[in-house]
Structure 1
């Protein structure tokens, strides 16, 4: 048998965490300023979309009231 086949297998849970840690080290993390700026963009887009969907809902509710009566 080959040496690789007879070698003790590594615990899959330990291997998972070791590989996850290695992948996290490869990440280029944003600076604090970038994180704040991107967070504000997300909050702004979310607020805009909430207002837009609220307006559309209001229009459809008004149309429904006109039709139903």
Structure 2
């Protein structure tokens, strides 16, 4: 059999198994959901069934913590995070600093040139 005929057969099978209308697609999705629910929990869940006991509320009023303890905890967490940082070597630091300074000086020269150009243009256009 040629490849074209095999592809045509494959397309026909897909078209037969695919729903042709929006209502058929909704029905197919709904039937897929109900079977998934039944297999997962053993029983299908009803929308009107009670949910069980409510989640216990937390009023957030545990122990009172002094401001000094809060500051101490904050500083300990800062130190812990700074230990995770990968610090650059001296060579990397000097390289990155040189790159930034060269880039900034080029941008300053570019902006100054544009400023000078526009100032000359305004003077030529409106005169002294």
TM-score range, shorter chain: 0.7 to 0.9
Pair 1:53 & 2:111 matched: yes
Calculate the TM-score normalised by the size of structure 1.
Answer: 0.85
Q: CA deviation at 1:9?
A: 3.7
Structure 1 equivalent of residue 123 of structure 2: 65
Q: Secondary structure at the match of 1:20?
A: helix
Q: Given the alignment of the two structures, is residue 12 of structure 1 paired with residue 67 of structure 2, yes or no?
A: no
Larger C-alpha radius of gyration, 1 or 2?
2
Give the Cα–Cα distance (whole angstroms) in 1 for the partners of residues 125 and 73 of structure 2: 63
| Structure 2: gaps of 5 or more residues | 1-61
Q: Which has the higher helix share?
A: 1
Count of paired positions: 64
TM-score (norm: length of structure 2): 0.47
Moved beyond 6 Å, runs of 4+: none
Unaligned runs of 5+ in 1: none
The root-mean-square deviation of aligned C-alpha atoms, in Å, is 1.4
